[in-house]
A and B are shown apart, each in its own frame.
Chain A
Amino acid sequence: MSDVAMSESELAELHRELRVVARDLLRRNAAKAGPDQTYPTVDWSLLVDTGWLGLEIPEEFDGAGATFAEVAVVLHELGRAAASTPYLGTAVLGVGALGLLEAGAARDELLRAVAAGEQRPALALPTGDSDGDVTAFRLAAAPVSEGDQPGAGRMVVSGSADFVPDAAGADRILLLAADESGTPVVVAVRPTDPGVTVSDRPVLDETRHLGTVVVEGTEVDPGAVWRFRGTDPAASAASARRLLDRAALAVACDSLGLAEAMLEATVEYAGTRRQFGRPIGSFQAVKHACADMHVKITVGRELLAAAVRALAAAEDPAGPHDQEISVAVSRAKSYLGAAAVDIAGAAMQLHGGIGYTWEGGVHVYLKRALLGRSLFGAPAAHRARLAARFTAL
Chain B
Amino acid sequence: MTIPTGSGGSTGSGGSTASGASVAGPVDLAEFRAEVQRWCRENVPSDWRRAQTGASAEEFAAFQQDWFQQLRAAGYAVPHWPAEWGGGMPVAQQVVLYQELAAHDAPRLVLGFVSIHHAASTLLVAGTDEQRRRHLPAILDGEIWVQGFSEPEAGSDLASLRTVARRDGDTFVVDGQKLWASGAAHADWCLLLARTDPDAPKRKGISYFLMDMRSPGVDVRPVRNAIGDSHFCEIFLNGVVIPAENLVGPVNAGWQVAQATLAAERGMTMLELAERLGNAGFRWLVDTCRTPGPGGGRPVDDPRVADRLAELETEITGLRALCRGLVERHEADTAGPADASVVKLFYSELLQRTMDFAVEVAGLPAHAELRKPASSGWESGAWVLDFIGSWEWTIPGGTSEIQRTIIGERGLGLPREPAASA
Binding site for B on A (CB under 8 A): 1-2, 4-8, 10-11, 13-14, 17-18, 21, 25, 49-52, 55, 59, 64-67, 70, 263, 267, 270-271, 278-279, 281-282, 284, 286-288, 290-292, 294-295, 298-300, 302-303, 305-306, 330-331, 334-335, 380, 382-387, 390-391
Which residue of chain B has its CB nearest to the CB of A305? B321
Kindly list chain B residues whose C-beta atoms are within 8 Å of the C-beta of A292: 404
- Determine if B17 and A7 form an interchain contact, defined as CB atoms under 8 angstroms apart: yes
Which among A7, A303, A384 is the interface contact of B19 at CB below 8 angstroms? A7
Inter-chain contact B311/A383, CB cutoff 8 Å = yes
B310 and A387 contacting across the interface, CB-CB below 8 Å: yes
Q: Residues of B contacting A2 with CB < 8 Å?
A: 1-2
Q: Which residues of B contact A386 (CB under 8 A)?
A: 310, 313-314
Question: Which has the most chain A C-beta neighbours within 10 Å: B1, B317, B319, B322?
Answer: B1
Contacts of A67 in B (CB 8 A): 1
Q: In the assembly, what is the distance between CA of A66 and CA of B5, in Å?
A: 12
Task: Name the interface residues of B367-422: CB closer than 8 Å to any CB of A.
Answer: 401, 403-405, 407-409, 411-418
Residues of B within 8 A of A305 (CB): 321
* A306–B317 CB distance below 8 A: yes
Sample of 26 A–B contacts (CB below 8 Å):
A4-B1, A5-B16, A5-B18, A8-B22, A21-B7, A65-B1, A267-B413, A281-B415, A282-B415, A282-B417, A284-B404, A284-B405, A288-B401, A291-B404, A291-B407, A294-B412, A295-B345, A299-B319, A303-B314, A303-B318, A306-B321, A383-B307, A386-B310, A387-B306, A387-B309, A390-B309
The 7 closest A-B pairs by CB, nearest first: A51-B4, A287-B408, A387-B306, A383-B310, A302-B321, A386-B310, A2-B1
- B314–A50 touching, CB < 8 Å: no
Instruction: Knowing A295-B345, A383-B311, A384-B306 are in contact, say whether A66-B19 is a contact too (CB < 8 A).
Output: no
Is B289 an interface residue when CB atoms closer than 8 A count as contact? yes
User: Which B residues are CB-close (under 8 A) to A49?
Assistant: 6
What residues of A have a CB within 8 angstroms of the CB of B190 in the complex?
none
Residues of B close to A284: CB separation below 8 A: 401, 404-405, 417
Q: Does B315 lie at the interface of the complex (its beta carbon under 8 Å from any beta carbon of A)?
A: yes
Closest to A2 in B: B1
CA distance A11 to B310 in the complex (A): 32
Contact in complex: B404, A303 (CB < 8 Å) = no
In the complex, what's the smallest C-beta–C-beta distance from B353 to chain A, in angstroms? 13
Give a binary string over B339-357; 1 marks a CB under 8 Å from any A CB, 0 the rest: 0001001100000000000
- Cα separation A374 to B404 with both chains bound (whole Å): 30
Q: Give how many A-B residue pairs fall within 8 Å (CB-CB).
A: 178
Chain A residues within an 8 Å CB radius of B4: 50-52, 64
CB distance from A319 to the nearest CB of B (A): 10
Query: Is A294's CB under 8 angstroms from B310's CB?
Result: no
Contacts of B317 in A (CB 8 A): 303, 306, 331
B417 close to A298 (CB less than 8 A): no
Pairwise interchain contact B415-A279, C-beta atoms closer than 8 A: yes
User: By CB atoms of chain A within 10 A, which of B317, B409, B418 has the most?
Assistant: B317
- Please judge, given known A-B contacts A300-B318, A306-B321, whether A278 and B23 are in contact too, CB under 8 Å: no
B16 and A6 contact, CB distance less than 8 A: yes
Check if B295 is an interface residue, CB within 8 A of chain A.
no
Contact among B12, B22, B342, B411 for A6, CB-based, below 8 A: B12
In whole angstroms, what is the CA distance A103 to B36 when docked?
47
Report yes or no: A282 in contact with B307, Cβ–Cβ below 8 A. Answer: no
B291 interfacial contact with A, CB 8 Å: no
Residue B141 is within 8 A (CB to CB) of chain A in the complex:
no
CA distance A49 to B345 in the complex (A): 44
Complex contact A271–B414 (CB within 8 A): yes
- Residues of B contacting A11 with CB < 8 Å? 12, 19
B5 touches A383 (CB 8 A): no
Is the CB–CB distance between A17 and B5 below 8 Å? yes
Collect the chain B residues with CB atoms within 8 Å of residue A66's CB.
Answer: 1, 3
**Number of chain B interface residues as a range:** 35 or more
Q: Given that A66-B1, A305-B321, A387-B309 are known contacts, is A291 also in contact with B411, CB under 8 Å in the complex?
A: yes
Q: A299-B318, A302-B321, A334-B310 are in contact. Are A55 and B415 (CB under 8 A)?
A: no
Is B228 positioned at the interface, with any CB of A under 8 Å from its CB?
A: no
Contact B313 A70 (CB under 8 A): no
Contact across chains for B16 and A7 when beta carbons are under 8 A apart: yes
Assembly CA distance A103 to B408 (angstroms): 52
A278 to B414, CA, bound (A): 12
Chain B residues lying within 8 Å of A287, measured Cβ to Cβ, are 404-405, 408-409, 414
- Asked whether, in the complex, the Cβ of B318 is within 8 Å of the Cβ of A21, the reply is no
Q: Within the complex, which residue of A4, A271, A390 is in contact with B415, where a contact is CB–CB below 8 Å? A: A271
Give which listed residue, B22, B307, B322, B325, contacts A7 with CB less than 8 A: B22
User: In the complex, are the beta carbons of B408 and A10 less than 8 A apart?
Assistant: no
Contact flags B260-288 to A (C-beta < 8 A → 1, else 0): 00000000000000000000000000100
Contacts of A383 in B (CB 8 A): 306-307, 310-311, 314
**Chain A: which residue is nearest B339 at the CB level?**
A298
Residues of A within 8 A of B18 (CB): 5, 7
B286's nearest neighbour on chain A, judged by CB, is A390
**Measured between alpha carbons, how far is A303 from B408 in the docked complex, in Å?**
23
- The A-contacting residues of B in range 1-44, CB under 8 angstroms, are 1-7, 11-13, 16-20, 22-23
* Contacts A50-B4, A288-B405, A302-B325 given; does A390 touch B300 at CB 8 Å: yes
Task: Kindly state whether residue B303 has any CB partner on chain A within 8 Å.
Answer: yes
The residues of B that contact A267 with a CB separation of less than 8 Å are 412-414
Minimum CB–CB distance for A205 against chain B, Å: 25
Q: Is B290 located at the chain interface by the 8 A CB criterion?
A: yes
Most buried by B among A1, A292, A295, A386: A295
Q: Which residues of B contact A263 (CB under 8 A)?
A: 412
Closest beta carbon of chain B to A22's beta carbon, Å: 8
A50–B289 alpha-carbon span in the complex (Å): 51
Q: Is the CB of A391 within 8 A of B306?
A: yes
B301 within 8 A of A: yes
Q: Are A387 and B307 in contact, CB atoms less than 8 angstroms apart?
A: yes
Closest Cβ neighbor of A277 among chain B residues = B418
Apart from the given pairs A282-B415, A294-B342, A300-B318, 6 other A-B contacts in the complex at a CB distance below 8 Å: A14-B5, A18-B3, A66-B3, A331-B313, A383-B306, A390-B290
Indicate which residue in B22, B300, B314 contacts A391 across the interface (CB closer than 8 Å): B300
Q: How far is the CB of B47 from chain A (nearest CB, A)?
A: 29
Which residues of the other chain, B, contact A335 by a CB distance below 8 angstroms? 314-315, 318
Q: How far is the CA of A380 from the CA of B307 in the complex (A)?
A: 7
Q: Do A288 and B6 form a contact, CB below 8 Å, given A303-B318, A390-B300, A390-B309?
A: no
Bound together, the chains give a CA A108 to CA B20 distance in angstroms of 31
Contact status A8-B418, CB under 8 Å:
no
Among B289, B310, B403: residue with most chain A CB under 10 A? B310
